[in-house]
Chains A and B, each alone.
Chain A
Amino acid sequence: MKIQQISLFLENKPGHLRAICRALADARVNIVTLSLADTQQFGIVRLIVEDWQRARATLEQAGFVVHVREVVVVTVPDRPGGLADLLESIEKNGVNIEYMYAFAARREDQAVMVFRFDDPDKAIAALQSAGREVLAGSELFK
C-alpha cells in the first residue's frame, strides 16, 4: 500500500524545475503528481512517478541528490468535512503527519491526498480500520 515518493533538492532559480522534468521526460518517466515545498533560498520537489527506480537512476545520473520515502495515498470524500473526518481518525491513533499534498487527479467524487506520516504502517492500519480507501500503486498508475 505504501508508495515510493522521490524528493530532490532544488535551488530557487529559473529553469531548475524544468531541468528535472525534462530529464524525466527524456527517460520517458511519467510524473503522476508533484509538490513543491520551498523557502526563500531552496525548495524540495516531491514526485510520485510511475517508475520510481528509473526516475531515481535518471536523476542521479543527471547529478541530482535523490531521496526516496514511503508515503500513503488516500481518497478523501470531496465534500465539506471530508478531510477533517479523515484527519480525526489519524489523530486518534497517535500518528503524526510530516507533510501532505493533494493529488493532481481526482476519482469520481473523491479527492486524492498524499500523506507523509512518521509511521506509515500504523497510519495505513488506522485508515483502513476507519474504512478509508488507501490506494496502491496499481490503482494510481492506471
Chain B
Amino acid sequence: MSAFEFWNDADNPVHPASAPDYLPLERLREMQLHRLQVTVARAYARVPPFRQRLDERGVKPADLRGLPDLARLPFSVKSDLRDHYPFGLCASPMADIVRLHASSGTTGKPIVVAYTAADLEVWRSVIVRTLAAAGVRRGDVVQNCYGYGLFTGGLGVHAGAEAMGATVIPMSGGNTERQIMVMKDFGVTVVCSTPSYFLHLADEAQKQGLDLRKLKLRIGVFGAEPWTEGMRERIQTMAGIRAQDIYGLSEIIGPGVAAECVHRCGLHIFEDHFYPEIIDPDTGAVLPDGATGELVLTTLSKEAMPMIRYRTRDLSRLLREPCACGRTIRRLQRISARSDDMLIVRGVNVYPSQIEIALLSVEAALPHYRIVLTREADLDQMEVQVEVTAAHFTDQVKTLEALQQRLAEAVLRVTGIHARVRLVEPNTIQRSEGKAKRVIDQRKLT
C-alpha cells in the first residue's frame, strides 16, 4: 500500500492500483489464461465437489488450453454454496483463512464465503480501483453506509477506501437522522450506499429542510441492488452529486467486481481477477460480446473459495468498444434486471425496472411504489401502488383519477399488462434501509 501513499491527483490522474485497468489486451488475455489454469487446477486438487463434477464430464484441468475452453467446465450456482455449507467449497485450510463473511439467504441457511490474506489484498485493490474509477480521491471524506458485519459491503468498501487514502466514516446502515447529521457536520464528500437507501436519506433530509445540494457531497457510489437511470437522475438532482454505479456479489468477492468510470457508459469489469461470460440463461450457451444474457463469473485469483463459472442471475451484456477513459477492460452494461427478479404475470415476463420506466414516463420524479400481485378468479392481477406526492396532488377527484389512468396506460404501454394503479398516502410504502422490497407476490398457486 505504500505505493498509494504518494499518489496525488494533480501529478498522476491514474491511480497506481488502477494500472491493470489499462493493460494491453494481449497481455490481459495471457494473464487471464494463466490465472484461470492455476485456479482450476487448484480447485480440482482441493475442492472435492468440483473435482467430482469435472470427472463426471470427463474434463481435466489440463484441457484448458485457451480461454474459450472455459465453456467446457460446468456452471456453479448459489445452491452449491448451500449444499456445501459452510466450508465445503474452500480450497484453503482454515489456518490460511483470515476472514469469513455470510450473506443472508432468503430461505434456510446463509451462504458462507472465505478469504485468505491474499484474497483480502485483492479485494482491497479492486475497491481502490472502483473508487478511483468513480472519481474518489485522497482527501475525500467517505461516509460508508453499507452494512458492517457479515455482509461484505461494509468492510469491503471500508478497507479499499482507507487504502486509497480517503477518510472513512464507518456508519453502516440505518439511523437515518445520525447519517444526515454526520453528512453535514463532517463535511462528507462521498457517500457509499444502496441507491434506495440514499433516496430515503435524501427524502428525510428534505423533510428536515436540509438541502443536500448545499453540502460538500460530490459523489455517490451506489450498488448492491439494481437501479434505473430514472433513480440516478432523481438522486443527482436532489443531492447535486454524481451518482456512480458499482457491482459485486459476495460469492465472487463482494463489492469491487465492476464499476463505472466518470463517463458512466457501463461498468468496467476488473477482468484480471473476475473473468466474465454472458450466456443464454435457458441453454447455457456462451453468447458473443454485445449480446444480452446472464452474467457468469469465474474468479481468477481467489484462493480460499474459487468460483468457477458462477451464474449470477443478473442480466447484462459485455461491451468491448473502447471507453473514453482509456481503460481496456470490458464493460458490463448496467444491470437492469435479474433473471430471478423477473415476474411472470399472466404469462408475460415483467421486470420491476419496467414499472419504474413506466412511472417515470408520467411523473417527473420516481415516486415510491410497490407491485402487488394477486390471483382473482384464476387470473393474475397486478396492482401498482404509487404514493401521492405534493407535486401532483390537487384537491380535485377528476385530476387524481386522470393521473391513475395515465399511470395505468403507461404500465400497459411498457409491459403489455393491464395493471390496476392505486394511489396511496405518502410515506405508507415501507422504506428500505437495505435492498428495496418492491414486489409483494400474494398469488396462491393451486
Contacts and interface: CB of A to CB of B under 8 A. Distances in A.
Q: Do A and B bind each other?
A: yes
Interface string A65-107: 1110100000000000000000000000000001100000000
B400 A67 contact: no
A132 interface: no
Given A39-B401, A44-B400, A65-B390, A116 B395 contact: yes
A116 B396 CA distance: 10
Contact of B425 (A7, A9, A38): A9
Contacts of A63: 425-427
A23 to B, nearest CB: 13
B397 A37 contact: yes
Contacts of B393: 7, 9, 65, 67
Given A65-B388, A65-B390, A9 B396 contact: no
A7 B400 CA distance: 13
B206 to A, nearest CB: 11
Given A9-B393, A67-B393, A116-B395, A41 B426 contact: no
A64 B395 contact: no
A141 interface: no
B179 interface: no
Contacts of A121: none
Interface string A1-32: 00001010111000010000000000000000
A42 B396 CA distance: 11
A102 B266 CA distance: 60
Given A41-B422, A41-B423, A67-B395, A9 B388 contact: yes
B394 interface: yes
Nearest to A16: B425
Contacts of A16: 425
Contact of A5 (B390, B395, B401): B395
B425 A10 contact: yes
Contacts of B388: 9, 65
A55 B235 CA distance: 30
Contacts of B424: 11
B389 interface: yes
Nearest to B428: A11
A101 B110 CA distance: 60
B395 A46 contact: yes
Nearest to A7: B395
Contacts of B395: 5, 7, 44, 46, 67, 69, 116
Contacts of A64: 425-426
Contacts of A37: 396-397
Contacts of A116: 395
Nearest to B404: A41
B403 to A, nearest CB: 11
B428 to A, nearest CB: 8
Nearest to B395: A7
Contacts of B427: 63
Nearest to A10: B425
B394 A67 contact: yes
Interface in B250-272: none
A66 B425 CA distance: 11
A13 to B, nearest CB: 9
Interface in B402-429: 422-428
A71 to B, nearest CB: 9
B156 to A, nearest CB: 35
A96 B425 CA distance: 29
Nearest to A116: B395
Contacts of B397: 37-39, 44
A41 B408 CA distance: 15
Nearest to A98: B396
A10 B424 CA distance: 8
12 contacts: A7-B395, A9-B423, A11-B425, A11-B428, A38-B397, A39-B397, A44-B397, A64-B425, A65-B390, A65-B426, A67-B393, A67-B395
Interface of A: 5, 7, 9-11, 16, 37-39, 41-42, 44, 46, 63-67, 69, 98-99, 116
Interface of B: 388-390, 393-397, 400-401, 422-428
Given A7-B394, A11-B425, A99-B396, 4 more contacts: A41-B423, A42-B422, A67-B394, A69-B395
Smallest CB-CB A-B distances: 6 pairs: A7-B395, A63-B427, A9-B388, A65-B393, A65-B390, A37-B397
